[in-house]
Amino acid sequence: MNQQAMMRLKKMQKQMMEAQEQLEATVFTGTAGGGMVTVEVKGSHEVVSVKIDPEALESKEDIEMIEDTLVAALNDANKKIDEASSKALGGFGGGLGGLF
């Protein structure tokens, strides 16, 4: 590998690391049940907060519904993380072909 290609590779690696760090620090919001449950999850998949609308807790029978809605909200947030990750990091894969 020549010197110029090595420099481009290092620059691209730095850009990828910066994009990954930014993605991991970003907080994504997932919702389900028409806003009954809202979760905030960092791009690193760390759950930051869970909010449950008090109106959703009318009786103990609602607990199973809330649990299912919570799972759906977390899945929604994780889907948003995956989409942002693909968008932020997806462009780097094609750049390797011109280095060699």
CATH number of the structural domain 3-90: 3.30.1310.10
Token pair belonging to 71 = 């799972």
Q: Is 47 in contact with 40 (CB distance < 8 Å)?
A: yes
Query: Please, which pLDDT band fits residue 38 given cuts at 50, 70 and 90?
Result: very high
Distance CA 19, CA 25 (A): 10
* Burial profile 78-99: b = 16 or more Cβ within 10 angstroms, e = fewer: eebbeeebeebeeeeeeeeeee
Q: What is the mean pLDDT of residues 39-44?
A: 94
**Residue 82: closest CA among 46, 43, 27, 50:** 43
For the cut 80, the answer to whether the pLDDT of residue 65 exceeds it is yes
Query: Please, which pLDDT band fits residue 90 given cuts at 50, 70 and 90?
Result: confident
Q: What is the pLDDT of residues 7-35, one digit of tens each?
A: 988 998 898 889 889 999 999 999 999 99
Q: Tell me which of 99 and 49 has the higher pLDDT.
A: 49
